[in-house]
Amino acid sequence: MVYFLGLTAVGLSVAAAGLGQRRLAVTRRGGPWLRVLAVLAVAVFLQLVAERRPLSVDVTPDRLYSLAPQTRQILANLGGERITEDGGTQPVGTVHALAFYHNLDGARQRIRAQLQAFADASGGFTFEVVDPNQDPERVREYGVTQARTVVLMSGDRQRHLLEPDEGQLAGAVYRLATDTRPVIYWLMGHGEARLDLEEAGGASALGASLADAGYAVRPLVLPERLHIPDDADALIWAGPKLDPAAEVLDLIDGYLRAGGAMAGFFGPDSPPAVQAWTEGMNVRQLDNVVVALNRAGAYAGVGLRTVTVVDGYTGHPAVRALKGNATTFPLVQTLRQVKKEMPGVEGYILLLTSPDTWAETDREVRYSGTPRFDPGQDFRGPVPFGVALEIAAADTTRRDGRLTIIGSSGFLTNSNILQYANRDLALNLVGWLAAEEDLLGIRGRRASFQPLLLTEPQKEWLGWVSVLGWPALVGVG
């Protein structure tokens, strides 16, 4: 910005000097050019200052070029300590980055700015940008095989990232500095969304997001093997369509009561056995469909049966950072406590629908047709559809089990997970389940194509400004 403003100022001063000298005597024509030299000197000085002390203002709609709150939190802990799930402390290392980008690569400036922002936010992060052609020794030393590779180092640990965005970079920095990599098992065998499916109904996008955040994600087909591995930090159960065997439910129940953690995504028409199992956890699935006639949904461009949450987050650690950010949920059912209190189970509401929604119970119009609110049968919002449970461990030396239940299974599919703050919510739920409170927040955005659409009057106005603006400025000068 300073460069272009300086260039404009010098150009205008040259034009003004050229026009002004015509009205002066020959002996006085050098005066206007002295002003040009003064403007040029000031422009060069400001450009040098801007290069050494850059200042940027992010005016993009989704704050693409500002460090996300979660990134700042991660960087603030570098070189310090973090609290572990058992209440102790663990040292957090520092991180050094080597970015291998050619001097003439247009992406070099972008990665330098990104790494500089990380370094400005934390004294525990340092970096260098290396031209592979000029430093082949380090290319061989670090095993770099492609340009645009960023090598992160912390102690004796390394990780290579190819063209990372902010979220990938922050996730890798956290994992290296803390030397952690939680293992998440994806339950399969009952018609759940598949991690390897890239179509709209699959969950490959969420799998990639979990991997970017540093989680090891592995499938677990329980009907084949009635055992949950000892290294499981959390389970994800994404929309089962078939009744699981009683042995499977007993296995999950025992895992949670032994201090395990699971995220369950159960939309309307969940299998009866799954509904009965959640009732044992004091959560009743009401098997209705929420109808949303709110302005937030209209703004987000979603249909009647997609719930949009903007202010319906509670103060629970897993969701409070999302307040003011939209998340969308297709085909939502509401949840309710079975009993006011259940020994060994503490429940917390996570998500509420807005006041101008209702839970439609008429099976004829739940999924199609024109729904209508029926007093005495349907439930007006706000009503809960997301809860978190803490389950007392049978062994008092273990931590309590953790369980989240969301009344929508389509929320985490490929067609929805990357919309708005959906990915942030999913990763925050997993972070809370894995007792990684440092990671609960809004993550960095991926760069996206955002064209500026102009109306015909706006195009005409800009045309006249470009045609008449410069001559007018020259005239004023």
What is the pLDDT at residue 43?
Answer: 79
Contact residues for 297 (Cβ-Cβ < 8 A; gap 6+): 303, 306, 307, 308, 328
Structure tokens at 263: 């995220």
pLDDT in tens, the chain (477 residues): 666 677 777 777 777 766 666 665 555 666 666 777 887 888 787 777 766 666 666 555 445 557 888 899 999 999 998 877 666 788 899 999 999 999 999 899 899 999 999 999 999 999 999 999 999 999 999 999 999 999 999 999 999 999 999 989 999 999 999 999 999 999 999 999 999 999 999 999 999 999 989 999 999 998 888 999 999 999 999 999 999 999 999 999 999 999 999 999 999 999 999 999 999 999 999 999 999 875 444 444 457 889 999 999 999 999 999 998 999 999 999 999 999 899 999 999 999 999 989 999 998 888 888 888 998 888 898 999 999 999 998 887 888 999 999 999 999 999 999 998 999 999 999 999 999 987 887 776 555 444 454 556 777 777 777 777 656 665 555
CA distances from 244 to 31, 184, 218, 235, 273 (A): 90, 20, 20, 15, 7
**Cα–Cα dist 420/424, whole Å:** 9
Q: Which residue has the tokens 């409070």?
A: 320
What is the pLDDT at residue 352?
Answer: 96
Q: Residue 103: what residue type?
A: N
What is the total residue count of the chain?
477
CB 389 within 8 A of CB 403: yes
Residue ranges of E strands in 157-293? 157-162, 183-188, 216-221, 234-238, 261-265, 283-285, 289-292
CB 239 within 8 A of CB 305: no
Instruction: Give the other-Cβ count within 10 Å of 391's Cβ.
Output: 24
Residues 169, 171, 174, 180, Cα dihedral to 10°: -130
- Angle in degrees, 0-180, between the axes of helices 456-476 and 2-20, rounded to the nearest 10: 50
**Cα–Cα dist 235/435, whole Å:** 13
Question: Alpha-carbon torsion 193, 197, 202, 203, what sign?
Answer: positive
- Angle in degrees, 0-180, between the axes of helices 166-178 and 69-76, rounded to the nearest 10: 30
